[in-house]
Amino acid sequence: MRTRSWVCAAVSIWGVVACGCDDSGLGVPDSGIPDLTPAATPAPFGLDSRPTNPGCLAPPRPLGSTTVALSDPFPNLTFSLPTALRQAPGDATHFYLVQKGGTVQRFDNDPAAATKTEFINITTKVNSSPNEAGLLGIAFHPQFATNKQVFLSYTAFSASSAANLRSTVSRFTVQANGLGDPTTEQLVLPPNDTGTVATPNVLDQPFVNHNGGNILFGPDGFLYAGFGDGGSGGDPGNRSQDTALFFGKMLRLDVDTVPAGQRYGIPPTNPFKNGGGAPEIFAYGLRNPWRWSFDRATGELWVGDVGQDLWEEVDLVKVGGNYGWHIREGMHCYPPGATCTQGALIDPIVEYNHTGGASRSITGGYVYRGSAIPSLVGTYIYGDEVNGDLYAIVYDAMGQAQQTLLLNTGFNISSFAEDADGELYLLEYVAGKIHKLVPAGTPPPNTFPQTLSATGCVDPNDATKPAAGLIPYDVNVPLWSDGADKQRWMALPDSGQIHINADGDWDFPIGTVLMKQFSLGGKPIETRLFMHHPDGNWAGYSYEWNDAGTDADLLPAGKAKPVGAQTWTYPSRSDCLECHTAIAGRSLGLETAQLNRDLVYVSTLRISNQLATLDHIGMFDAPLPAPPAMLGAYPAPDAIAAPIDQRARAYLQANCSFCHRPQGTGQGPADLRFATPFNMTNTCNQTPQEGDLGITGAKLIVPGMPDQSLISVRMRALDAKRMPPIATKIVDATGTQLINDFISSLTACP
């Protein structure tokens, strides 16, 4: 390793923006420079020409043996952050899609549809700023064909709410032109407009998360509405179990028989109609029933209830039922390790855990009642918003419900929909696409490479070396990976180019493969390939190196393996997409400010700036906007000449911002992107939305107090509270010290 340290020193002599540091913080380049590298020569460009790449190209995604696939039923249409999709009763010729920002779009039920009509626009009424807020639900009255009534569920502005959010359900009337009229709004919920102690169910949200928001008419003709527990973490107000409150509940309302002076009536069989709780309540003990549905054949109410840290659950909800939150999460006492009395609580039908403590979020679906996939008739289909997995509940020989994975969609599933024929649709949140569940047909032979040597991305004679068509790269601020040394390469189709977005993030063409190799103790342990497949989706694959270090085998699922004194975690394919989110641009670390640094190009023995080199060999679809010296570069964690706030913000950019950004999968409003001014990151003296971990006075960042700052505390945790949550079991001592020093340097919030 002495030669590697010398190269790092040499690079520093030649005026590099920042000398890379490996993820152990030992000052060794994290650049893939092998041992015994000869001295390199500084040069304007590291490569003279672009290497040809005949073999390292993303093949079609492996389909496995699943019975289903996804089609694009409306290829000419895209939408903005879709949250719900419906058809009006008795009309199969149109769909109505709800957009988070406050509009509903109507379009023809026709694969050739290329236009959409704004059915209704209530953007001025909707506070859609927080990630989980906005226009969240739509329900057509069962007699819509004659009474033209449509109901919308949204978060309104509320000066009396700590989060400036008031959950609202309103009735609107469709006019003769077929469009909804915002001026016809009649409030249904809240039941009144004064948030006093005497009227606790005004639905002013105490926190920005867990708003629920789905509404549907049940087979009994009543309007059902689901709301979360009010937010934060762990239900600090015990709202879900408090039957005087609407939070954490399923409500059932009669919107047709309305007493004078009221906004709705109470169905006669509601459990608390005659006392003991709010008469609107149908069931309680839910955390955040984001999406739920009725089985059109049986009338049963199926709810996907979002979990806290460890368990997601599917509930079959019945009148008067208590589904446990926050006494327990799934079937497990909450918090973990506590004891609880469970006798009166109703068990979920199935639960699934967060592998490795990862943050996941169930999206409830429908019981399939279509005809296109006979094997699934009567099967409940649902998904996970974060990792894109699509699941079904099947029953074993003993009649026990089991979760089975149908496929990984490769996108964030925001909602499901059912058409008049009982066929199912999925909504892709970030890209704004609609997908339809269809039979897969006979799967093609599985030709996906099962070994690293078969991928075309490594030297066919030596799998430890990259193929000639791969281009090495390095980053200024690496993602923490439990002290592993990492090498990185990119492989693009010969005709493909990189597009640099306005924010400096890079987009890669279909066919791209990004390769990263991890080593511990000088031995390769894992190689990950992140591929942009022909269907437009990205997916990640882990290859585990054999003990001899000669080749690596494709892993079908996640795995944990002892390596020396530590445990190495191989992420599953679903785990990969929890960090490589669509909202973060999928490819992490590949952005201008990360790659604006020098690299030793081993093939030419030159030291050169990566941006200049990539531009010189034609890798970008447009010239760089300025010379590299005039473009931004993230300072490395150990670049002590750089201001500590810049180094800390760069570290958070590399390790946290892919989830913690607007519309990201991270909980709460924190925006940890480097480019966001600190006073707009929603972190300093901000109340955490996922609980205070039992720390008195905890905030996301408390100036001068790292031990009360949850951004620091969660970085040092080794349980389900750990951040980042995926594939890491060791605390980054250098990174946590940097964040602690930054917090300690703050005397006040800006």
- The strand pairing partners of 145, in sequence order, are none
| Averages of pLDDT over each 10 residues, the chain, 750 residues | 28 29 34 50 96 96 78 98 98 98 98 98 96 97 98 95 94 97 97 58 88 97 97 93 96 97 96 95 98 96 94 97 97 92 93 72 96 93 93 84 91 96 97 96 80 96 95 97 96 97 96 97 96 91 96 91 93 83 89 97 96 98 96 94 96 94 84 96 90 89 96 88 81 95 96
Q: Other C-beta atoms within 10 Å of 36: how many?
A: 8
User: Model-level pTM?
Assistant: 0.78
pLDDT at 638: 92
List own/partner pairs for 140-145 with CB under 8 A and 24 or more apart: 140/86, 140/88, 140/89, 140/96, 140/217, 141/89, 141/217, 141/255, 142/89, 142/217, 142/221, 143/89, 144/88, 144/89, 144/90, 144/174, 145/88, 145/89, 145/90, 145/91
What is the length of the chain?
Answer: 750
Taken in order 262, 267, 273, 278, the sign of the CA dihedral is negative
pLDDT at 25: 30
Helix (H/G/I), strand (E/B), else coil: 376: helix
In DSSP terms, 340 is beta-bridged to none
| Residue 18 pLDDT | 33
The Cα 61–Cα 537 span in angstroms is 9
For 168, the 3-state DSSP assignment is strand
Question: Where is 9: in which H helix or E strand?
Answer: helix 2-13
pLDDT at 444: 66
* Domains, the chain: 1-62+448-630 (no CATH), 127-173+184-439 (2.120.10.30), 643-750 (no CATH)
- 3-state secondary structure (DSSP) of residue 474: coil
